[in-house]
Structure 1
Amino acid sequence: MSDPLRRIDALVEEGTLPTLKVRQQLRLAAGLTQTEVAEAIGVKRLAVAQWEAGRAQPHRGNRRAYAHFLRQLAVKYPAAAIEEASDEG
């Protein structure tokens, strides 16, 4: 998906998660640690680390909570929600 508006639309859809890079960019833009994100969602830090690294995906309720969390960060830090087209693989 190369169009920035389509990427943003995908980010705000219920349960849709942004790319791995954008997940981390949003967290860092907010100045949050993986531990802080984990505590907010109700999971262990390792889960957030795995979600950001693409080694695991959040399930059901955690996915909805994580997607909601990321949407809120995207509203607050819109520049962090954009992944440069040259960075996509």
Structure 2
Amino acid sequence: MHENTIGRRGQDPFDALIDVLAAVNRYDLALGVIPIAFVITLVAASVFGVPAPYAFAAAAIVGIGVIADVCYLNPPVDQGSTDRTDDRTAAD
């Protein structure tokens, strides 16, 4: 069900979904991978009869790898700020 606001033409829900998905970055995907890994291991443990602690250990290893990647190997970089300390030392 789609609801329009009064006085404004509403955006198509499919277009809104496309806009949101286009704005997803690497770190958003990383946050989604961790719980998905746990859900997949829970399903795999129940389907294949793998003991849950072993399955969750595998999911934890995936989660640790993702966290290590986004925090230490490829950390977020603040692209909006500039380093003004070099400018001040050159002026002094």
TM-score by length of 2: 0.28
Bigger Rg, structure 1 or 2 = 2
| TM, length-normalised to structure 1 | 0.28
The higher-RCO structure (CA 8 Å, 6+ apart) is 1
